[in-house]
Amino acid sequence: MTPKVMILLGSASDYNIAKKALDILEQLEIPYDLRVASAHRTHEKVKEIVLQSTLKGVEVFIGIAGLSAHLPGMIAANTHRPVIGVPVDVKVGGLDALFACSQMPFPAPVATVGIDRGENGALLAAQIIGIHDENVRKKVFQLRESFYDKVQRDEAQLLNNIEGNFYSPGDNYLEFADRPSKKNELVEEKSPQYPMVAVIPGSYSDMKVAKKTTMFLDRLGITYDMNVISPIRYPERFEKYMERMSEVKLFIAISGLSAHVTGAVVALTDKPVIGVPCPLRMGGLDSLLSMVNMPPGVPVGTVGIANGGNAAILAAEILALDHEVLDQRVKRLKNKAIH
C-alpha cells in the first residue's frame, strides 16, 4: 500500500502521542508510514524523507514534536502538501512546542492541533483526504458518530451515580439520545458553481485578518463565500449559514477572544476547519489557546495569530490534492517565496 499520510516524530520519545494518531488511522483504514527524524539533530534526513514522500504521493504530513518543535515547520518548508503539527508537552505544558508549530511565517503554514492531541492530528488528516475520497469521508462520519455515542453513554452513567439529596433531574434527558440533525455530512452532489471555501469571521473586528485570507484566495483562484457571523450573538443565523454552506470543501473561521467561532463550525461539519486566531486582547494568546486546544474528535487546524495569508495557503494545499491547476499554482507560490 502506498502511504497517504506520513508521520514524522522528532524523537522516539514522542511515540505515546503518535500512537493516538496511529489508532485513528488504523480505525479509518488509511495507509500511513512513520519515521523518526529531527529537524535539529538530523536535518538532511527530514528533508530527504519529505521530498521523497511528496514525490511518491503522500497526501498529508503529520509532524509530532515537543520543546522547540521546528520539525513540522521544516516539513512545511519542503513540501506543498498540507502539514499538520502536533505539539507535545515535554516542558512548560507544551506551550513552547505549540508556538513553534503554529507561529509559522508566510507561506509555510502548519495546521496545528491541540497539545498532545495525536488523535486530532490524524482525524484532521482524514478530513482532508475525505474531501476527495468518499470512502474515507464516510468513515470519518462514522467515527464522529461514535464520539457522540460515547458522550451519551458517559452522561447516562454519570447521572445514574449522582446521589445528592437535592439533585432533581428532569425526566427528559434521554430524549436527546437522537443526534442533532447535521446536514453537512455525506453531501454527495456537488454543484459546480458552489464556492470551494466558506470564510467566517466572527466580527467586523476580524476583517483586517480576513481580508488577507481572501486576497490570497483570490490570487490563487479559489472560489469562496464570506459571511461575518457570530455563533454566540446570532446562533440561528449561524446555523442557517452553515446549512447553506453544506457543500463547500472546507471552512476558514477567523476569530479573536474566546474563539467560539471555530468551535461552533467544527461542531456542525465533518469538513476540515482552519482557524485563524486574532489579536484583540493579550496579543491573541486567548484566541490561539481556545482555538487550538480542542477535545478529541473535533480538530481545528490552527495557523499563527493574525496569519490570514497562511490560512489561504493551507486551504490551497488541501484543495490542490484534487485540483491539478491549483497544485501547480501553490507549488510555484511556495517555491518562489521559500527557495
Q: How many helices (H) and strands (E) does the chain have?
A: 12, 10
Among positions 7, 65, 253, 314, the unique one binding ligand C2R when judged by CB under 6 A: 65
User: Is 263 an interacting residue with respect to ligand C2R (CB under 6 A)?
Assistant: no
C-alpha angle with apex 183: 200 to 138, nearest 5 degrees?
105
Indicate the residue among 69 and 316 with the shorter CB distance to ligand C2R: 69
User: Is 70 an interacting residue with respect to ligand C2R (CB under 6 A)?
Assistant: yes
Among positions 33, 34, 68, 227, the unique one binding ligand C2R when judged by CB under 6 A: 68
Which residue number places its CB atom closest to ligand C2R?
10
Considering just the CA atoms, what is the radius of gyration of the chain in Å?
20
User: Phi, psi (5° rounding) for residue 114?
Assistant: -65, 160
Sheet with 250-255: strands ordered across: 32-36, 5-9, 60-66, 83-88, 111-112, 301-302, 273-277, 250-255, 197-201, 224-226
C-alpha cell recorded at residue 193: 458553481
Binders of ligand C2R among residues 39 to 58 (CB under 6 A) are 39-41
**Nearest distance in Å: CB 68, ligand C2R:** 6
**Nearest distance in Å: CB 106, ligand C2R:** 20
User: Is 270 an interacting residue with respect to ligand C2R (CB under 6 A)?
Assistant: no
**Nearest distance in Å: CB 157, ligand C2R:** 35
Beta strands in 250-339 (DSSP E): 250-255, 273-277, 301-302
Q: State which amino acid sits at residue 268.
A: L
Indicate the residue among 40 and 138 with the shorter CB distance to ligand C2R: 40
User: Is 66 an interacting residue with respect to ligand C2R (CB under 6 A)?
Assistant: yes
Indicate the residue among 61 and 224 with the shorter CB distance to ligand C2R: 61
Report the 10 Å Cβ neighbour count for 134: 11
Q: Per-residue contact track with ligand C2R, 7 to 36, x per CB under 6 A? A: ---xx-xx----------------------
Cβ atoms of residues 93 and 69 within 8 Å: no
Q: Per-residue contact track with ligand C2R, 77 to 96, x per CB under 6 A? A: -----------x-x------
Among positions 38, 152, 227, 258, the unique one binding ligand C2R when judged by CB under 6 A: 38
Indicate the residue among 65 and 198 with the shorter CB distance to ligand C2R: 65
* Best CA proximity match to 275, nearest among 253, 294, 251, 308: 253
Q: What is the SS3 assignment for 161-194? A: CCCCCCCCCCCCHHHHHCCCCCCCCCCCCCCCCC
C-alpha cell recorded at residue 228: 461575518
**Nearest distance in Å: CB 298, ligand C2R:** 24
Please work out the total of residues on this chain that contact ligand C2R, with binding judged by CB under 6 A. 17
Binding site for ligand C2R (CB under 6 A): 10-11, 13-14, 38-41, 65-71, 88, 90
